Structure 1
């Protein structure tokens, strides 16, 4: 089984048809990749070691919800997906991190990878929602202060668990606003792939 980023993307698409779920996976991957690069720098990794660590973070982000469309119940997700990953020989660290991103699994988040996935999952979704309510639908028009304000609005993106966002930043040892800013910047750098460039981005230059 191809356990590269390309292999993860193929597996995700095999199980997921929803464009919004695919975009969510890409958004989480984007934030995870950025944190993977930061962790690699902190560890002083270079060359192949660095590339492997960063890809592990990215792949974990891509695959964390790959089973959700077919198996959305609390009894099945992410347990079915993790069984499939085990059968295909994906690394235990990735599988454990994916289990840990669901609080109800009871699996503790002990690695930096697992803590990063939990910290990025809900926030990536929330930043996407904040972008899509902008008149431009552009993530470049989203600011940290606005995100914090929206977090207090319980009617907005009510499916996003604010407590998980706060708890995730705490487990990662990052200030909440710094965490929001870091993920926001990562998603802005990948705005085209995420479909969050906004209406203005496609307008002809004058």
Structure 2
């Protein structure tokens, strides 16, 4: 029996698996939240499927998304990453990931966890988008605007409102599965 899904994953098996098992599921684990911050910022200007296909390469290149390890990356490591064909070799994005790991650790220290910080923007529970069509899904929201503004003030880079709204969707801070999708009620 075919499942009714959101339309955006199309028929790509990797995309379908991501949609069915990850996208929109609430994530409160700091390392996974950091993973999505790195991947979402790398995605800026590219398609998400491109990043999904490079995800395992990112995992290897970015110390399994351990923010404490990434925060200590040296200039030598940056130069090595710029030669890594398995990731997006954009120097600004690579340097942003390292900077963001450092800022991430600062936020963890201040709030006890990054999860505590970011989920406070939605009162610690997912926002139900109640979208009937893909056209109703926004690129940003007042919450992603506020989050982007606060994170910029804290020194984060490559994480504007659109990127952070995508992050909110990916980590289940907002449920933008279409109401007809089998994942909507999960």
* TM-score range normalised by the length of the shorter chain: 0.3 to 0.5
Q: Which has the higher helix share?
A: 1
TM-score by length of structure 2 reads 0.39
TM-score by length of structure 1 reads 0.36
